[in-house]
């Protein structure tokens, strides 16, 4: 999985990931969390519509991001989660922790 790639764009409190949110890509993404929060204000929406693959490390990162943001009085909403993402969240017991939504 050395060729796993993840990019993101952040605009007006919305963070859109593109690529793979996996063990191979999470460390580099996690290093950017301060900039995501500082631009988000009190609400950060994470759009997963362009995420091709997610594993438990990706879900764990978003759970940690939720905790991190809560300490800064910022809410996290996950937009357009895939069925794979939802299944991992459910199996890991994070359903009550993450707010999942679909954009219309």
Check residue 24 and give its pLDDT: 97
Q: Is residue 1 over pLDDT 50?
A: no
Please report where in the chains the tokens 């594993």 appear, as a residue.
Answer: 55
Q: Report helix, strand or coil for 94.
A: coil
Distances (CA, A) of 2 to 5, 21, 23, 51, 95: 9, 13, 10, 17, 30
Residue 29 belongs to a domain: yes
What is the number of structural domains in the chain?
1
Rounded CA gap, 83 and 54, in Å?
10
CATH code (residue 28): 3.30.750.24
CA 71, distance to chain mean position in Å, is: 17
Residue 37 belongs to a domain: yes
Q: What are the tens digits of pLDDT across the range 19-65? A: 999 999 999 999 999 888 777 788 999 999 999 999 999 999 999 99
Residues spanned by the domain of 12: 6-95
Q: Residues in the chain, how many?
A: 104
Could you tell me which residue, 17 or 1, shows the higher pLDDT?
A: 17
């Amino acid at each position: 999985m050395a060729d796993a790639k993840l990019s993101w764009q952040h605009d007006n409190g919305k963070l859109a990931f593109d690529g793979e949110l996996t063990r191979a890509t999470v460390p580099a993404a996690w290093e950017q969390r301060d900039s995501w929060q500082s631009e988000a204000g009190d609400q950060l929406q994470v759009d997963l519509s362009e995420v091709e693959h997610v594993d438990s490390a990706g879900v764990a990162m978003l759970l940690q991001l939720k905790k991190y943001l809560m300490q800064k009085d910022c809410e996290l909403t996950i937009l357009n989660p895939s069925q794979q993402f939802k299944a991992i969240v459910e199996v890991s017991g994070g359903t009550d922790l993450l707010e999942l939504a679909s954009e219309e």
